[in-house]
Amino acid sequence: MGPTQDRVYRLSKELGVENFRCYDEGIAIAYNRGKWRTMAGLCPDTWNPFLYMDLNHFWHLVDEMGKKIPMDRPWDFPEAEEWDNMTVKEWADKTFWFQLTKDFVAVQCTLGFCAENKDMSLLYFLWYIKGGSGYLRFSSTENGAQERKFVGGSHQISLTMADRLGEERVLLSKPVTEIAQDADGVTVTTATGDIYKSKYIIAALPPAMLNKITYTPSLPALRNQLNQRYPMGSVIKTMMYYDRPFWRDSNYSCLVLADGIICGTQDDCKPGSKYPAIIGFIGGDAARETCHLTKDERRDLIARRYATLLKNDAALKPVFYVEKNWMEEPYIGGGYVGYTPPGVITKYCKVLREPIGRLYFAGTETATKWSGYMDGAIQAGERAAREILHAIGKISKDDVWQEEPESKDMPALPFEESFLERNIPSVSGFLRFVRTSLMLTAIGGAIWLKRDMIQNLVKI
């Protein structure tokens, strides 16, 4: 949780779930194609001014392009179809000059979306980051999306809500197999054979998981097709525990962006915990390529990788290891969120939040802000509830979508950029400037030469 995620902060505060700031001191690391670099801000450090231009251009361009996208209707603007039919890889290959920049974009996809850049729509990539309040907020720890964690884990929010609602209203281990609706209401059947009736129903599943349910009447064609085209990301979340946070000895923050088995890490030294840990994510192709290994084999591969990334053999001696393969979860299917391949947003997503009779849709994929996060899930759930309140005449249509006031306890501070970061051109922009300057110089020289020749002729 971090600034601008005001809904999850408000709810956690109501429920009495406390939070703490994540460790964000020291040097971050980038590792790419066997080369170890430190991070300068949110980009790999480099001595090459042209590479710096390219990297700086990347994240500024993401925000600049995102300004054009309407968050509630990302299919409805002039460039929508062009951007939606293009993969992130295709865009990066034709936009950026250096392989490191292209690789950096790829790692952002693997870590942020658990998907490969070759599989994901550019429009989705831009829309998602804009919904995360822009690239800096989306990517940062301090003042960003990774700033805080919940004491006892974010599951404390779910557990506390369930406790307040009461066990007779929160039914576990009863997966829904069928939803039937008619003019009188909705009938829900579970795998345990239980039957429940209601006036309306909200499905807060990822789109890909909605097809595990039988519907009567059947879902409309476009909705059925959408569900088939909105896959979950591929990710294994890992926790490597040590007897001491050895990376801090070298002043490393333990924030790492890398290619290979681990695409990103973060320091996970919880207050009061006896053993410090490193969170590491295996995402995209790496998750699919290593999911057949045993848990111990993955642990050993990761430990060796940490020894390389953190330049310390202490990484080879973990005291404990925990992992969660989200791809094995039968009612989730992956993580952290569903994403769209090329063409899906403009052809199918118009029905993403559209009710079907008495069936309404929530889930973080349907959020227009912080989609993929708990904050987006809360926005979606509250919106769907208000849609039903509007359907039964309790509130007006204008009250369905409501803005959340900014938290005074977790304000979104502006990010400070240097003069160079704000004004340095892209490589293409710089070359255009040089070309134009040379042309103007040549034209000026020609004019001067011609003037000099005319003056000499006049003298003769």
Summarised one tens digit per residue, pLDDT across range 144-190 is 999 999 999 999 999 999 999 998 999 999 999 999 999 999 999 99
Distance of CA 395 to the CA centre of its chain: 33
Cα four-point dihedral sign 331, 336, 341, 343: positive
Containing 412, the helix (H) or strand (E) segment is: none
pLDDT > 90 fraction of the chain, expressed in percent and rounded: 85
96-117 b/e (C-beta count within 10 Å ≥ 16 → b): bbbebbbbbbbbbbbbbbbbbb
Using CB atoms within 10 Å of the CB of residue 294, give its burial: 0 to 12 exposed, 13 to 18 middle, 19+ buried: exposed
The pLDDT of residue 137: 95
Q: Where exactly are the structural domains of the chain? A: 426-459
- Name residues of the chain where pLDDT drops below 50: none
Phi, psi of 187 (to 5 degrees): -120, 125
The pLDDT of residue 327: 96
Distance of CA 228 to the CA centre of its chain: 21
The pLDDT of residue 429: 75
pLDDT tens digit sequence for 320-336: 999 999 999 999 999 99
At position 314, the amino acid (one-letter code) is A
Say what angle helices 6-15 and 374-391 make with each other, to 10 degrees.
Answer: 90
The pLDDT of residue 454: 63
- The C-alpha atoms of residue 141 and residue 137 are separated, in whole angstroms, by 8
- Integer angstrom CA distances of residue 233 from 125, 372, 440: 13, 11, 51
The pLDDT of residue 450: 63
95: tokens are 């936009």
Q: Is the pTM of this model over 0.75?
A: yes
